[in-house]
Amino acid sequence: MTAKAFRDEELLADVIARLIGDVRHVAVGNESPIPATAALLARERGRDRPCVSLLQSRKHNFFTDGARELFDCAGQGRIDVFFLSGGQIDGQGNVNLVNTGDYEHPNVRFPGSFGSAYLYYVVPKVILFRTEHSRRTLVPKVDFISAPGASRENVYRPGGPIALVTSRCLFTFAGGRFVLTSVHPGHTVEEVTQNTGFDFDRPRHVPDTPAPSPQTLALMREVVAPQLAEVYPQFAARVFGIGTPAFSR
């Protein structure tokens, strides 16, 4: 299969769906169309497992009290996978959602931490996701730690990062460091190195990220995309052509 047979968003959703694995419950926060696609894809593959909660959805969300109920559910150990991003992410898995530069006189303000640090601590599998893969976003050290990637040994912490998915590659996270696990089609290890601000480990041979199978693409386009359109109509139209009859591949 050539790279032209699928869109970048479809590749990333497939990568994330495989990282989700066989779990009970996946929760997806606001403004996360690609992780939402992945969560719904994982559910379709597992025949209604895992349970998927999209916070902005009425059809795919059993929470009745919004984020407060999400936090309660996570604290009780009833959320297995969540997703975080950040204006900056460093090589220790730290996430910055506050600002760059001096805190009192910032260069850039981000949306804010909200519940990121709490969820980072209590959700067993947190998948970091950032489409912009550059030295501006993947930095040696974040300017502000909204959510720490690791804690001291005497801190009870059942949650934390397992991977970082970007537009160029997949990193897994182990021992407090990222490991380059695969490079997406059309990209190279050298390109990843040039555009990553932090150090990372890598095997001698880094494989290509597998392309989505024809069966996976059909499932995304024919089953997942119509469900996704409820929450992300513009994304579903742009990527999958939902609601735009003139769209053609």
Q: Which of 12-16, 31-35, 198-202, 242-246 has the lowest mean pLDDT?
A: 242-246
- In degrees, rounded to 5, the angle at the alpha carbon of residue 224 between the alpha carbons of residues 218 and 226 is 110
pLDDT band at 48; cut points 50, 70, 90? confident
Q: What pLDDT, on the 0 to 100 scale, is given for residue 64?
A: 79
**pLDDT tens string 174-209:** 999 999 999 999 999 999 999 999 999 999 999 999
**Domains of the chain from N-terminus onward:** 1-84+212-242 (no CATH), 85-117+130-202 (3.40.1080.10)
Q: What pLDDT, on the 0 to 100 scale, is given for residue 58?
A: 84
3, amino acid identity: A
Q: Which residues does 149 contact at the CB level (< 8 Å), separation at least 6?
A: 90, 92, 93, 94, 95, 120, 160, 161, 173, 176
Q: What pLDDT, on the 0 to 100 scale, is given for residue 26?
A: 97
In the predicted structure, residue 66 carries a pLDDT above the cut 80: no
Q: Which residues does 52 contact at the CB level (< 8 Å), separation at least 6?
A: 25, 26, 27, 28, 39, 40, 42, 43, 60
Question: 160 and 120 in contact (C-beta within 8 Å)?
Answer: yes
In the predicted structure, residue 68 carries a pLDDT above the cut 90: no
Question: Per DSSP, what are the bridge partners of residue 27?
Answer: 53
Q: What pLDDT, on the 0 to 100 scale, is given for residue 65?
A: 78
pLDDT band at 61; cut points 50, 70, 90? confident
Residue entry with tokens 């995309």: 225
CA atoms within 13 A on the CB side of 238: 8
Q: What pLDDT, on the 0 to 100 scale, is given for residue 59?
A: 86
Please state, rounded to an integer, the average pLDDT across all residues of the chain: 93
245: region left, alpha or beta (phi > 0 left; psi from -120 to 50 alpha):
alpha
More confident site: 43 or 57? 43
| Token duo for residue 219 | 């499932």
Mean pLDDT for 155-173 is 97
**pLDDT tens string 13-22:** 999 999 999 9
**β strands within the chain, DSSP E:** 25-28, 51-54, 81-84, 88-90, 95-96, 99-101, 106-109, 125-130, 138-139, 161-166, 169-174, 177-183
Question: 138 and 195 in contact (C-beta within 8 Å)?
Answer: yes
Q: Which residues does 160 contact at the CB level (< 8 Å), separation at least 6?
A: 93, 120, 121, 124, 126, 149, 150, 173
In the predicted structure, residue 1 carries a pLDDT above the cut 60: no
Name the residue among 45, 115, 43 with its Cα closest to residue 54.
43
Question: 184 and 206 in contact (C-beta within 8 Å)?
Answer: no
Q: What pLDDT, on the 0 to 100 scale, is given for residue 3?
A: 45
Mean pLDDT for 58-82 is 89
For the chain, percent of residues with pLDDT exceeding 90? 83
Q: Which residues does 77 contact at the CB level (< 8 Å), separation at least 6?
A: 122, 158
**pLDDT tens string 94-139:** 999 999 999 999 999 998 888 899 999 999 999 999 999 999 999 9
Question: 126 and 150 in contact (C-beta within 8 Å)?
Answer: no
Name the residue among 199, 164, 66 with its Cα closest to residue 27.
66
Q: What pLDDT, on the 0 to 100 scale, is given for residue 167?
A: 98
Q: What pLDDT, on the 0 to 100 scale, is given for residue 4?
A: 62
* pTM value surpassing 0.85: yes
Mean pLDDT for 38-66 is 89
* C-alpha span between 38 and 54 (Å, rounded): 11
